[in-house]
């Protein structure tokens, strides 16, 4: 998961027209979900684009699949209240179980430089990537 920014020239419409096509054709015909529209940002302002990219990595660091689990590595700890909210608000993207906080899994031993980062660990359905982006945005707003 990475931030995707479509940056038009000031007042430009190139990317706006492309994204209208996505909404009119792909969304309308069920080829993408409404939540998938969260996977990108359209702007004609360079500062907004920079803020989008920088903000994406505010609390979120990186992710890795470990067998049936998705591990989101974070730049700092999550509070219990936020974790409870995530378990309630994003239960729809789980295959089972719940979101838990933990340290590195044994399979991550090949990345010792990331061992100090806290993790949000869960069984992601590997389908709802727009909702996954919304989860990351939620974590970044903390």
Q: Where are the domains of the chain?
A: 5-56, 60-140
Task: Assess whether pLDDT exceeds 90 at residue 86.
Answer: yes
Q: If one looks up domain 60-140 in CATH, what number appears?
A: 3.30.1360
Which residues make Cβ contacts (< 8 Å) with residue 56, sequence separation at least 6?
2, 3, 136, 140
- Mapped onto helix, strand or coil, the DSSP state of residue 57 is coil
Compute the distance between CA of residue 29 and CA of residue 27 in angstroms, rounded to an integer.
Answer: 5
Q: What is the CA radius of gyration of the chain?
A: 17
Kindly state the DSSP code that residue 1 receives in the 8-state scheme.
-
Q: Where are the beta strands (DSSP E) in 8-140?
A: 41-43, 60-66, 69-74, 94-102, 119-124
State the pLDDT at residue 19. 92
pLDDT at 17: 93
pTM value?
0.92
Minimum mean pLDDT range among 26-40, 57-71, 118-132: 26-40
Say what angle helices 129-140 and 80-89 make with each other, to 10 degrees.
160
**Share above pLDDT 70 across residues of the chain, in percent, rounded to a whole number:** 100
| 21-55 confidence digits (pLDDT tens) | 999 999 999 999 999 999 999 999 999 999 999 99
Residues 6 or more apart in contact with residue 91 via CB below 8 angstroms: 98
C-beta neighbour count of 45 within 10 angstroms: 12
What is the pLDDT of the chain when averaged over all its residues? 96
Q: Residue 142 above 90 pLDDT?
A: no
């Amino acid at each position: 998961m990475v931030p995707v920014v479509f940056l038009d020239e000031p007042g430009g419409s190139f990317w706006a027209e492309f994204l209208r096509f996505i909404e009119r054709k792909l969304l309308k015909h069920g080829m993408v979900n409404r939540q998938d529209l969260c996977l990108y940002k359209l702007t004609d302002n360079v500062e907004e684009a920079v803020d989008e990219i920088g903000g994406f990595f505010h609390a979120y660091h990186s992710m890795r699949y470990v067998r049936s689990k998705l591990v989101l590595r974070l730049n700092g700890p999550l509070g219990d209240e936020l974790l409870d909210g995530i378990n309630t608000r994003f239960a729809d993207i789980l295959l089972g179980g719940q979101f838990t906080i933990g340290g590195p899994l044994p399979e991550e031993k090949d990345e010792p430089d990331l061992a100090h980062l806290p993790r949000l660990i869960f069984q992601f359905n590997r389908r709802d990537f727009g909702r996954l982006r919304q989860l990351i945005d939620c974590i970044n707003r903390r």
